[in-house]
Amino acid sequence: MIDFPSCFGENGVQIADASSSSGTNLLTQTTTPNKNTQNLVTCVYHCKLHSSSCFIITITWTKNLMGQSLFVQINDPTNNSFSKHEIKSNLFTKRKGSKTLQTGPISTDILWDLSSAKYGSSSPEPIEGFYLAVTINQELILVLGDMDQEVYKKMNCSITCSPNSVFVSKTEHVFGKKVYATSAQFCGKGQVHEILIECDQVGSDDPFLSIRIDGKMVMKVKRLQWKFRGNYTVLVDGLPVEVYWDVYSWFFGKVMGNAVFLFQTCLSAERLWGSGQPAMSWSGPVGKDVGQSGLGFSLVVFAWKNE
């Protein structure tokens, strides 16, 4: 675990905001890394107001040689509209603050404090010492981070007003030579698991792919040149998780591209046993909140090989 890079020790965030009822989706603008991108993480949350209105909030954390950025996109499926807001690293502003934006009848507040945030060794997504909150028409709809009590104090409310939000997907671009690390919380209030994907096809007559969760080997694929695409099922937190991989471009691409890995929770036992795949178990508390919400979780990892 490391702090925010020391060269940005006193820097902060700057808001650049835009609103639109149509136009280019933010994800298409930010999910294709270039040579200056170290990493990118996109998280999607399904959020529900007490009025039963639903919103899709997309949080994208990026890091490149110029610093770090945070994009917040709020989709309103009912009105087929979205607003997007950017919080950017800047040498002359503070890394905490708030912003109020008006999109038609909807008033959006974004509150954040990244001044003491801790980050993983390569990920731009903070893991502790921060908060990020979103309100719609003064109702708290999303809170991220371990400093949620600060948010409740600012809003003069108790934890009983915690938002009804479900973490539904995470997409991450990771870079490495043969080992690619990420983390995932396969159920909303479950454990955060460390995931290591390892593949070393250089100088090997029989390259293989292995996946470890919290240090435990849960999957190993031999003769990877022949099995460059496939799927397998493991159990995480008592939930069946389907793992798909595609490493074709690592072996046969004209230009070295990225491999893709998908981890998808299965909400139905029939999907597990109907797949015909054996289930490798990784025990933990059963993710009841996933089943009750009716929303599964997916993790997509784009693995890029460093030159």
What pLDDT is stored for residue 52 in this prediction? 75
What pLDDT is stored for residue 44 in this prediction? 94
The Cα–Cα gap between 158 and 172 comes to 33
DSSP sequence for 103-167: ETTEEEEEEEE-TT-EE-SS-SSEEES-EEEEEETTEEEEEESS-HHHHHHHTT--GGG--EEEE
pTM of the model: 0.77
Identity of the amino acid at 37: T
Mean pLDDT, consecutive 10-residue segments, the chain of 307 residues? 29 34 33 56 91 88 80 80 64 68 82 87 86 90 91 74 86 90 82 90 77 93 90 88 93 80 73 40 36 70 86
Extract the tokens encoding 273: 């046993």
Handedness of CA 40, 33, 100, 43 (dihedral sign): negative
